[in-house]
Amino acid sequence: MKQVHLICIGCPLGCPLTAELEDREVRSVTGNTCKNGEKYARKELTHPTRIVTSTVRVSGGELAMVSVKTASDIPKDQIFDCIHALKDVEVPAPISMGQVILPNVAGTGVDIVATKAVRRSRAGS
């Protein structure tokens, strides 16, 4: 039996977790203060995922950039694929919060959505 120590990233409490592994299978998780902690440890040790946040350029908007995120978590080893896919994306204003900016980013099956609304820039300003 192998012991692995992790810090839960589920919330800012950052609980110190201890997982017991046997043949790459998670046998038990301790140290968590909620059920998300156990879920996190099991996921982190088998197929770790992250929500990715970034920004993309806006054309004709009141703001130069709009903040975006993956609508749900994606595999950790695809973070950079996701960021590269966003490199040359430019979105025309207006943009509404939750609007899909890029569907199925880097083949993950997860959409990139806007996390902020951007209005069209007023003419002359």
Q: 106 CB contacts (<8 Å, ≥6 apart)?
A: 74, 78, 81, 82, 84, 85
55 binds other proteins (CB under 8 A): yes
Give the tokens for residue 110.
Answer: 């997860």
Give 1 or 121: the residue with its C-beta nearer to other proteins. Answer: 121
Supply the minimum distance, in Å, between the C-beta of residue 121 and other proteins: 12
53 binds other proteins (CB under 8 A): yes
27 binds other proteins (CB under 8 A): no
Chain centre to alpha carbon of residue 47:
14
d(CA 104, CA 88): 16
**How do 53-59 and 90-92 pair as beta strands?**
parallel
Q: Which of residues 78-107 bind other proteins (CB under 8 A)?
A: 79-80, 83, 97
Residues of this chain that bind other proteins (CB under 8 A): 6-12, 14, 16, 50-55, 57, 63-65, 67-69, 76, 79-80, 83, 97, 115-117
